[in-house]
Amino acid sequence: MAVWLVSIILVATILLFMTEKVPLDLTSIGVLVALMVTGTLPSADALASFSNPAVITVAAMFMLSRGLMRTGALGFLSEKLIEHSLGNRNRILILIMLGTAIPSAFINNTPVVILFLTIIMGVCCRYGLSPSEYLIPISYSAVLGGTCTLIGTSTNIIVSDLSMKMGYGSIRMFELLPLGAPIMAVSLVLLYIAVPRLMPRSKAPVCELRGEEAPHYLAELSVPPGSRLIGQNAFEYFGERFPGVELFELIRGPVIHYPARDDIQVDPGDLLFIKATANDLVAVLNRRVVELPHATEAVSLRTRDAHRSLIVELVVTPQSRLVNERPVESGLLRRLGVQLIAVKRRGMHYSEQKIGHLRLSVGDILLIQCSRDKLEEMRNRPDFIVLEDLQHEFVDRKKAPLALAIFTGMVAAATAGAADITLCALAGVFLMLATECLRIRDAYRSVDVQILLVIVATIALGTAMRQSGADVVYANAFLAPFRGQSPEVVLAAFILLTILVTELMSNTATAVLLLPIAISTAASLGVSPRPFIIGICVGSSYGFAIPAGYQSHMLVYGPGGYKFSDFLKLGIPLDILCWLMSSLLIPVLWPFDAP
């Protein structure tokens, strides 16, 4: 009976995690309640998940990452890296992939991607390049870098802790490096070859244009019935008649099209998202082929207002208080005094009249109008990224060497075995707070509570699986098609299963839920569980084809102007490469007959 109860809760959890019809944190709390109410797991064991060392370590790593970002320790190095590119497209690609992969081996990949997103947008504006050539590669590189060390991703920390609790030993700081480094190197070469051929070259609409004599404006224009523009290619029309006007998007209903890459004719009611000088905008409007829709009536085209009013795009971050909030009801946006024009979500467009009950999620883009003096305040908030930024400001760069020294000391102490990783991470947080490299308010804001709750819930569910014997049942069911096959084949199948599940739901949840099954599978085969534990670690990180699997993928989706298919083009070959290499290397590095 216990196995059936656990199975029902497990299936419901996976479905809710995959669909996200219910917020992940609410689902996580529901899992804990279900386990306790049904008696599947004693309350003491369920609540013990909150005190798991892995949960504390992950929270501490969020704070340490914030300390490094706040002092500009990584930002300064990143900017210098980009300066050495000299505007060369291929050199930029190499440098940004290495620049994201290496730091991501030591800190959470989301803040690294946020940092490079702002830098890349600025570099693309400066050299006239397309951000869509670089944003997916920085997200993928960050994921690949995270597989190289124990602290590169929260998943590795959790698997290590659970492995130790089950009696199979923890993962050492650099134990994953002989596997992660060669896979990362080959994957980056694949990206270097494939990105110029497969990625679109969409222009960035939001480049800050200080110093130009004629200020530029972002505007949405609607196509009225009877317009001479109807039935024509808008990109060609503006290119021939108004070369100073840049056309970025054609919005039809809720769907966003990109005229530079999509051959599409204009229909009545279409919205055109453009950037132009005030004179060009007035000239276009005087042609009466387009008009200002209600949503942008407040946009001023007078040059003298350039220093008072801006239209900018904001990307919603994982730590934003806007997540799961209705933008039209947002107290934060009201306090900032911004006028909401539209919301863009992964190829869909919602005007102010259509937003209705829409709740914001990570990676959504808000098109807003605000006064220029409010822009600096928005830059300093963790709730969103201001996409028009060319400069990434840091709060206290003079403390960067101290923050780096504290973090390096933490890594060295954990590597040498002077103390366990939890104690080292907490000591690092204490020193950063004591030396004011990190403020307590920033420390609290840096912690992603949703991720921690998912970890707590899945650890409790994993414990219930072991105590009920469900893990053995699942392992036997998994092994049924592979009777008589070698451990190498079974391991390859398990890694593939892990990658596929990771594409559909949180990598952390995937690792925690599959780990007990992996260990039971190894026991059934009579081999060391270590290769399967390592396979879970790396397999749960290799999710490249479906953007919903990673917060960093969601962050670059909108700003890069990507389609879902763009992730598939690069992600599927990368998933296959990582699966094959890990399946071949793991048995060599961690033999099945090892004690």
Give pLDDT, residue 189: 96
Q: What's the one-letter identity of residue 367?
A: L
Residue 133 has pLDDT above 50, yes or no: yes
Q: Which residue has the tokens 């749960």?
A: 540
pLDDT per residue over 293-346, tens digit each? 644 444 444 434 444 566 677 888 877 888 888 887 777 777 777 777 777 777
Residue 487 has pLDDT above 90, yes or no: yes
What are 590's two structure tokens? 């961690």
Contact, 490 vs 544, CB < 8 A? no
Of 173 and 448, more confident? 173
Neighbours of 182 (CB within 10 A): 12
Helix (H/G/I), strand (E/B), else coil: 523: helix
In DSSP notation, 529-588 reads SHHHHHHHHHHTT---SSGGG-HHHHHHHTTTT--HHHHHHHHHHHHHHHHHHHHHHHHH
Mean pLDDT throughout 452-460?
89
Give pLDDT, residue 401: 86
Residue 175 has pLDDT above 90, yes or no: yes
Residue 118 has pLDDT above 80, yes or no: no
pTM for this model (two decimals): 0.78
Mean pLDDT throughout 213-218?
57
362-363-364 Cα angle (round to 5):
95
Q: Which of 174-188, 211-225, 579-593 shows the lowest per-residue confidence on average (mean pLDDT)?
A: 211-225
Give pLDDT, residue 584: 96
Mean pLDDT throughout 221-249?
85
Of 150 and 320, more confident? 150
Q: CATH 3.30.70.1450 spans which residues of the chain?
A: 205-306, 310-386
- Reported CATH class of domain 310-386: alpha beta
Of 75 and 501, more confident? 501
Whole-angstrom distance, CA of residue 311 vs CA of residue 305: 12
Mean pLDDT throughout 110-126?
79
Question: What percent of the chain lies above the pLDDT cut of 90?
Answer: 25
Helix, strand, coil shares of the chain, percent, nearest 5, are 60, 10, 30
Give pLDDT, residue 123: 78
In DSSP notation, 237-267 reads HHHHH-TTPEEEEEEETTEEE-TTTS--B--
Give pLDDT, residue 417: 84
pLDDT confidence band for 472 (50 / 70 / 90): confident
Average pLDDT, the chain: 82
Of 446 and 594, more confident? 446
Buried b (16+ CB within 10 A) or exposed e, 313-322: bbbbbbbbbb
In the DSSP assignment, the letter for residue 71 is T
Q: Closest Cα partner for 460 from 158, 160, 57?
A: 158
Neighbours of 391 (CB within 10 A): 11
Give pLDDT, residue 71: 78
Contact, 501 vs 12, CB < 8 A? no
Most confident range (mean pLDDT) of 162-176, 440-454, 497-511 is 162-176
Contact, 168 vs 530, CB < 8 A? yes
Give pLDDT, residue 519: 92
Q: Closest Cα partner for 141 from 548, 578, 452?
A: 578
Q: Which of 97-106, 297-306, 393-402 shows the lowest per-residue confidence on average (mean pLDDT)?
A: 297-306
Q: Closest Cα partner for 501 from 516, 515, 511?
A: 511
Give pLDDT, residue 392: 39
What are 487's two structure tokens? 């451990």
What is the CATH topology of the domain spanning 205-306?
A: Alpha-Beta Plaits (3.30.70)
Phi, psi (5° rounding) for residue 529?
-75, -10
Helix (H/G/I), strand (E/B), else coil: 178: helix
pLDDT per residue over 35-80, tens digit each? 999 888 899 988 888 988 888 998 999 898 888 877 776 666 666 6
Mean pLDDT throughout 263-269?
87
pLDDT confidence band for 396 (50 / 70 / 90): low
Whole-angstrom distance, CA of residue 254 vs CA of residue 353: 12
pLDDT per residue over 414-437, tens digit each? 888 888 889 999 999 999 999 988
Give pLDDT, residue 356: 60
Of 382 and 474, more confident? 474
Q: Which of 14-18, 58-62, 308-312, 470-474 shows the lowest per-residue confidence on average (mean pLDDT)?
A: 308-312
**Which residue blocks in 49-151 are alpha helix, DSSP H?**
53-70, 73-83, 89-104, 109-127, 135-146
